Structure 1
């Protein structure tokens, strides 16, 4: 019995000494991992061929291909409306926008006289301080919507910048763009010239900003973004046209009544002279 006990104790001591060795546990872990990996590979190899495996392949832009013209432009700079000239210090405003909220003097200065008729200015007329012609530039990037020759307004260029937002350039003597052109802000569209509608302005360029066909005061939107105008409720241009038209009709009626009165006075004088004779 004692011999068996001695054998058992010697075995325990041997086992303890064995597990005390540094490389025993790493070897056991590696061996267990090898057994698990082998078991997995054997199981995968026994998978039936008729079982459909999931497709994790990548198909480039499958049914989502974006054309070059539809690509989104990242980091596109936001533009503000600029003066339609290279240097605004070289020009001056000779005719202002007709604003219904302005004083009587300012409104009078914004009236364009054409013989016996007069019209409210729907934009601003700018002229060089030296009286010479100058380059007229695009106030904002956009697409040329129209180029027209007008005997009264001179050459006219219309540039569309967004849906319903346009700038208009009139009284041009030369035009450098054609309909459909894409123009950048600051690109020359023509040169200042003359027009029959505003002859008193001399060599000038008439400039307008319109929203949904309604002219707004350009001086209120220079150095402001397109979004500012898009978010603005525009009614002043319509009111200006209506008020000015009403004033024109009133003055025309006044002028007609004065003429009628003078004619009646002359007829009365003639009748009195005949009676006296």
Structure 2
């Protein structure tokens, strides 16, 4: 944990260049809003915006022809983790300090109010939040733990999202940890559940969230709400 490793970027990168990273349109469905309309009937407009994003998001999940597709991490190593990391697919919280969820998951089935509460504003646009943001109660950095055992299939330092670690687990699960301050694993490592993989940090995409962890879960390429998998608190 205390050792800081800055591994090289591996497969399944979300960004091919810094210019693409500066423009996150390829990774998260967006809704453009003009600055002129931003302040006119904000509650009503935001509700309508969320509904529109919900339609786009639903199309991406069902394979429809959306203009801004959801890019899910590709699993390049489909083999099971080594025997010492194989275990039941019961998630644990990726943090072991007092914490809170500060931004939830955008669900295509949610109400307009719920969808509006799960949007990220960046560069004059709104983006559907595809995971959850977790902060410590004190707002300070904390250890980030592996929510499931698995194999590290991606480690990269993204200009927009900070240090990112992707872990591929059994039964098609892929967990993504973003906005890390540093990482203590490298691509190809097998990690046990509860093992420290890095520390929380900040990122440009969600500057207003401060020091936090962005946690995302896919199963067989489909986005899942992490709060449906994590133990109830």
Does the alignment reach a TM-score above 0.5? yes
Report what 2:127 is aligned to: 119
SS, match of residue 107 in structure 1 = helix
Report what 1:130 is aligned to: 138
Larger helix share, 1 or 2 = 1
SS, match of residue 98 in structure 1 = coil
How far did 1:77 drift?
5.0
Report what 1:82 is aligned to: 92
How far did 1:221 drift?
1.2
How far did 1:164 drift?
2.9
Matches within 5 A, 1:82-101: 82-87=92-97, 90-101=98-109
Report what 2:117 is aligned to: 109
Report what 2:221 is aligned to: 213
Tell whether 2:213 aligns with 1:200: no
* Runs of at least 5 residues in structure 1 that lack an aligned partner in the other structure: 1-71, 225-277
Matches within 5 A, 1:153-232: 153-162=161-170, 164-223=172-231
> Highest relative contact order (Cα 8 Å, sep 6+), 1 or 2?
2
SS, match of residue 105 in structure 1 = helix
Aligned length: 150
SS, match of residue 148 in structure 1 = strand
Please tell me the root mean square deviation across aligned C-alpha atoms, in Å.
Answer: 2.1
Instruction: Give structure 1 regions of 4+ aligned residues with deviation exceeding 6 angstroms.
Output: none
Q: Give the structure-1-normalised TM-score.
A: 0.51
* Runs of at least 5 residues in structure 2 that lack an aligned partner in the other structure: 1-81
Give the conservation status (yes or no) of the 8 Å contact 2:89–2:170.
no
SS, match of residue 106 in structure 1 = helix
Q: Which has the larger radius of gyration?
A: 1
Residues 157-200 of structure 1 deviation map (CA, whole Å, 9 limit, x = unaligned): 00000253200000001100000001000001111100111111
* CA distance in 1: counterparts of 2:89 and 2:219, whole angstroms: 17
Q: Give the structure-2-normalised TM-score.
A: 0.61
* CA distance in 2: counterparts of 1:163 and 1:145, whole angstroms: 15
Larger strand share, 1 or 2 = 2
